[in-house]
Structure 1
Amino acid sequence: MKRRAIAPVETQAADALSELAAALSGLRTPEQVRAFLEDLCTPAELEAMSDRWRVVPLLEEGVPYREIHERTQVSVTTIGRVARVLERGAGGYAAALHRRGLRHR
């Protein structure tokens, strides 16, 4: 009997992420996306993602880290991580900024 090869964990995770991205892209309104995220994520995960997103436009405006922290209460460490991803990540933040009408440097 011929055995089927089982996909490596990395491939399974990449496929699952692609499926998640497809599910999100199929939603039509912010309300649908919000409902999906509320079903998918814990309150702590939603808070962490929301915090990161709140930081992105401020970094884009060139607001200093300490001022961002004072305005948002997001940790300076998280702000630094978001800044690194904004500069060297996969381009998702830049795409979202562009779609929201905010320019990426």
Structure 2
Amino acid sequence: MSTRVAKPKTGRPRGAGSFDSEVATVVGDVIRKNRLAAGISQETLADMANVGRSYCGSVERGESQPTLFVVLKMAAALEIEGHTLVRQVEHALARRRFKGATKPKRS
């Protein structure tokens, strides 16, 4: 009698709420900005990062939230260090979140 071991499921579990549209949008904006500054097409970036072209577009539009591994692959393809790309995302998020904040009134 042979016993089959179930293959583990990949991806996010059904109903998981770990997608953050604000973060996904900012990550996409930062990647697009760096790609355009490098003068390469979305297709070229996807090929260099070894990800699908449609997925690359989905990331840039903020429809997909890439894993750290994908972010690092895209950073390498853009010839920048991963921490630099992550720091750009952090700064963009901070600017976005505090842009609408009002300064406290002085008494």
TM-score (norm 2): 0.31
**Structure number having the greater helix percentage:** 1
Higher RCO structure, 1 or 2 (CA under 8 Å, sep 6+): 2
TM-score (norm 1): 0.31
